[in-house]
Amino acid sequence: MLIEAEQLYRFYGNHCAVENLSLSLDKGEILGFLGPNGAGKTTTMQMLCGNLAPSAGQIRIHSIDLLENPKQAKRHLGYLPETPPLYRELTVNEYLSYCGQLHGLKGKSLAQALEGAKERCGLQAVCNRLIGNLSKGYQQRVGIAQAILHSPDVVVLDEPTVGLDPNQIREIRKLIQELGQEHAVLLSSHILPEVQALCSRVMIIHQGKVALNESTDTLEQHVRASSLILETRWPVELECLTHLDGVQSIKQISEIRHRYRIFHDKETNPAEKIASIVVAKRWGLLELTPVRQSIEQIFVEITQQGKETAEAEA
């Protein structure tokens, strides 16, 4: 594993910002790291990058203990914070050269690293321009370039597409996908469809704790339809449908139209049986549509449940 974090805690006075958090990440994985504001995402990423010491727990980068050998471990890390650490008075070349020297690159190896990073991030055309004169999209690219300049095994990206226009977002997403083929990438974002499209695994934290940690394949099972919308020309005798295997409950969602929402087990889809009964009873089938749950709905459910629990305990 390229990142192994075990039982991380971080206290600010009496406040526990991160509690018993563990995660692992290997080459070729892109982990979507989600949570509402104040959930502990930035604190966790700062601990993983060695910018903030955990109150308790262990972090290994490429099997190197980050607390015991920070310089050696950080050689394998690239980090783009939410606000890129750019020097606006430098040109792109000057800034990236400076970053490369901080990583210990010299001579030919530095020149090759600069060219590689500029090519991957599409910066060749602006390499001699002042960073302060670049658009937000290009500044974000420069931030990513400094994070991957030394070919780290692990790349941590905090909100890399925030404030960008749709074309810039598309370009940055493509770059992240390419990075995910050769590196382990930890991606924090509030754009949930972006996470679903890019990431191989998703972790949601809330109030400092891990609320969900699943592969996107498993998450697809969570978002799979678990209810149906039924609309008929004539009223339905609900007792004829409630006894079907897998049907949990039925709710009428329109009194003007004969429209119902049928909740069922995720493992059982009673749509075919429902259609047969509606046709046999001559209720006039107008619609029978599965309802999928989005990742946004899952996120809201998890974070709202945590909020309600905290309010109840208070």
- CATH number for the domain harbouring residue 152: 3.40.50.300
CATH code at 263? Answer: 3.30.70
**Is residue 110 located within the same domain as residue 211?**
yes
- Can you tell me the distance from the alpha carbon of 238 to that of 80, in angstroms, rounded to the nearest whole number? 55
Q: Which residue did the predictor score with more confidence, 225 or 120?
A: 120
Phi, psi of 196 (to 5 degrees): -65, -35
Say how far residue 247 (Cα) sits from the centre of its chain. Answer: 33
Query: How do residues 190-206 score in pLDDT, each as one tens digit?
Result: 888 888 889 999 999 99
User: Which pLDDT does position 307 carry in this prediction?
Assistant: 55
**218, containing H or E segment:** helix 216-223
**Is residue 191 located within the same domain as residue 254?**
no
* Confidence grade of residue 225 (pLDDT, cut at 50, 70, 90): low
**Is residue 189 located within the same domain as residue 273?**
no
Query: How do residues 68-99 score in pLDDT, each as one tens digit?
Result: 999 999 999 999 998 889 999 999 999 999 99
pLDDT at position 305 over 70: no
Residue after which a domain boundary falls, among 221, 252, 276: 221
For the chain, how far is it from start to end, CA to CA, in angstroms?
39
CA neighbor of 143 nearest in space, from 129, 124, 157, 125: 157
Phi, psi of 248 (to 5 degrees): -95, -45
User: Which pLDDT does position 114 carry in this prediction?
Assistant: 97
Strands 184-188 and 154-158 turn out to be parallel
pLDDT at position 170 over 60: yes
Three-class SS string for 43-107?
A: HHHHHHCCCCCCCEEEEEECCEECCCCHHHHHCCEEEECCCCCCCCCCEHHHHHHHHHHHCCCCH
Q: Which residues pair with 259 in a beta bridge?
A: 231, 254
